Amino acid sequence: MSAPLIEARDLRVTFDIRRASDLPWTTPPKLRAVNGVSFALEQGKTLGIVGESGCGKSTLARALIRMLPSEGQVIWQGETDLVPLGPRAMLKHRADIQMIFQDPLASLDPRMTVGEIIAEPLRTHRPKMGRKERREKVRAVMEKVGLLPNQINRYPHEFSGGQCQRIGIARALVVEPKLLICDEPVSALDVSIQAQVIALLEDLKRDLGLTIIFIAHDLSVVRHICDEVMVLYLGQMMEAGPTERLFSAPQHPYTQALLSAVPIPDPVVERAKKLIHLEGDLPSPLNPPSGCPLRTRCPRATEICATTPPTATIEGREVFCHHPGPAPEVQAILEHG
């Protein structure tokens, strides 16, 4: 069996939060944005990362590509630990790991033409490539993502949001990466445009053999495009496993609450379904609950939840919970999802 393309082992990201009122010699409070996340992703697979806003999804993605300092290990192709690498040593891996950002227009330089934006990674990672060859490469990747070659000299403000996201995808693909990290790539787009971008990513995955990490809020999209899913809450993994197993019979109360909120196309079932409510607000990551981070909002919480739960393996899934198990109230929802 071949090694995973990328593997995270006990990955942690911590920020020092210094306030204006803090004295210089005091120790600033620590914010654990990612707290001991581990996973392994095989070549050609898509991993979906889901959870509420502020749960650490984007921070995890940035830690994987060394945009943020982290602790733990990120093993690339079963050989290289990326965490201790400096900027110069990391540069040779940058072409293999590319990222698509949430806001398509904000991620593009408004002073550069489309051709210059897409060609920029080639100038960095393929410095010996000639100008003519570089331009031909740019035109080819534009055509691959559904952009017209005659748009090469236009500027980002002349394009729609969906077209700008295609430009961002083209920029990421031009260096032929092995891993594509998509940080909520469709959340800022209209529904019809979302479908086009998702279809494009599926085609690229099939044609190029891409491995994708797909961060999203929309669980319907995640179920459609992802082979595996990891659910995060306050920087910790709550449940992870193959997509269909996780969606058909979720074991963690947090996963069940997320799935119960997914809209159902059948209006009769939608009106009759029972939502699983999580009490209260998301706790501050500066002062998270002890033990299970969900315990202050969980409908199943007991005294034992104040201690750290074990990570149980249930039907091929990892579940971080003292009281895992199915929730009968969400089975009807899942059957119609």
pLDDT tens figures, 44-76? 999 999 998 888 999 999 999 999 999 999 999
Contact status, residue 63 vs residue 70, Cβ threshold 8 Å: yes
Residues in the chain: 337
pLDDT, tens digit (0-9, with 9 covering 90-100), for 213-243: 999 988 888 988 999 999 999 999 999 999 9
Q: Which residues touch 298 (CB under 8 Å, ≥6 apart)?
A: 253, 254, 278, 292, 305
- Whether 334 has a pLDDT exceeding 80, the answer reads no
pLDDT, tens digit (0-9, with 9 covering 90-100), for 141-183: 999 998 998 999 999 999 988 899 999 999 999 999 999 999 9
Q: Provide the whole-model pTM.
A: 0.91
Domain 6-16+28-96+177-336: CATH superfamily is P-loop containing nucleotide triphosphate hydrolases (3.40.50.300)
Q: What percent of the chain has pLDDT over 90?
A: 55
Mean pLDDT of the chain: 88
pLDDT value for 269: 65
* Alpha carbon distance 294, 301 (integer Å): 8
pLDDT value for 283: 87
* Alpha carbon distance 294, 308 (integer Å): 11
Q: Give the start-to-end residue ranges of the domains of the chain.
A: 6-16+28-96+177-336
- Whether 331 has a pLDDT exceeding 80, the answer reads no
